[in-house]
Amino acid sequence: MALKRNIFFTLLFLNTLIMHHVKSNPVIANGYDPMEICIENCAQCKKMLGAWFEGPLCAKSCIKFKGKLIPECEDFASISPFLNKL
C-alpha cells in the first residue's frame, strides 16, 4: 500500500513538472525580437501609468536603439526618460 502511494505521488510530481515545462513561455524556445518586446513594454507601461507615461517617445526610443534599452514598468530608472510631470 505504501509503495503504491509513493508511486502515485512520484507520478503526480513528474506530471506537475512536465505540465509546468509545457506551459513555459514559447519566446524562450523560439528566440525573441528585442524590438517587439521593447514596444510591447512601452504599451504596457502606457496602460499602467496613463498620462504620466510618454508612450510614443518610448516607442521611438525602441526604434532608435533597436530594442537594446527595454523599459520595465516597475523599474524607475528604465522608464524615467518617458515620464512627464503633467
40-75 confidence digits (pLDDT tens): 999 999 999 999 999 999 999 999 999 999 999 999
Which backbone phi and psi does 41 adopt, to 5 degrees? -65, -35
3-32 confidence digits (pLDDT tens): 665 566 555 554 554 554 444 444 555 678
What is the CB neighbour count within 10 angstroms for residue 52?
A: 14
- How many residues are recorded in the chain? 86
What is the distance between the alpha carbons of residues 67 and 36, in angstroms, rounded to a whole number? Answer: 8
What is the distance between the alpha carbons of residues 9 and 19, in angstroms, rounded to a whole number? Answer: 15
Which DSSP string do the residues of 5-32 spell out, in sequence order?
HHHHHHHHHHHHHHHHHHTS-HHHHH--
Predicted TM-score of the model (pTM): 0.63
The helix-helix angle for 34-49 and 55-64 (nearest 10°) equals 170
